[in-house]
Amino acid sequence: MASYKKIINQHLAAQIDIEEHFSAKIQEALEEIREESFVDVKDLLIRIREVLESNYTLLNKAMDKYDEPEPVQHNGHAGSGTNGAILDQAKSLEKKRSQVSRILRELYSDLNKITVANTQLYTMGLAFKSEDVAELAMKHLEELAPLVIKVCEIVPEVITRELKMDEPQIDITVAQKALADTRILWKFS
């Protein structure tokens, strides 16, 4: 049976892989968003990237503590899959402008994947009585949870701005109704 240190180290390595992959996707998204009207989206993505970079440093420090003689290798593929393929496909197409709403949808999915992985890491830290790992994962969750909500909240406004670019008659105030209605759903779910 594997030692608890080895198990924790493997999960820390997987978490690092996921966060590295997501951070790279955020950088691609930042480069893809060229419109000046989406500065708020870029600011949010930069904030998410900063949190991930901070978490990445702390995760690496934690790995040092739980390092076993047998090295755990990062596979670099923990975050790849459908979302990565969609981004690659979309980048190969020539577009007159980026679709910020699409970028947010994909990044929201990845951000949720990271929060679930942190929940798993937190639970494992508790189960193995590794308070430092549990605290690290909880700290990451505390930083990421408001960002998940912020991404969800910015979507209605982004959608209406995108639609307005192509259809000038679009009433952008519907974004406020969409946000209010979805906030109600999230509070009761």
At 133 the pLDDT is 94
pTM over 0.85: no
At 68 the pLDDT is 61
Parts of the chain with a pLDDT under 70: 1-2, 68-98, 188-189
Please tell me the distance from the alpha carbon of residue 65 to that of residue 70, in angstroms, as a whole number.
Answer: 14
Which residues are within 8 A (CB) of 153 and not within 5 positions of it... i.e. 6 or more apart?
179, 183
At 66 the pLDDT is 78
At 77 the pLDDT is 44
Please tell me the distance from the alpha carbon of residue 132 to that of residue 94, in angstroms, as a whole number.
Answer: 47
| 4-153 placed in CATH 3.30.9.10 | no
Compute the Cα dihedral for 129, 132, 136, 142 and give only its sign.
positive
* Domain boundaries, given as residue ranges, for the chain: 4-153
Alpha helices in 66-130 (DSSP H): 82-92, 100-127
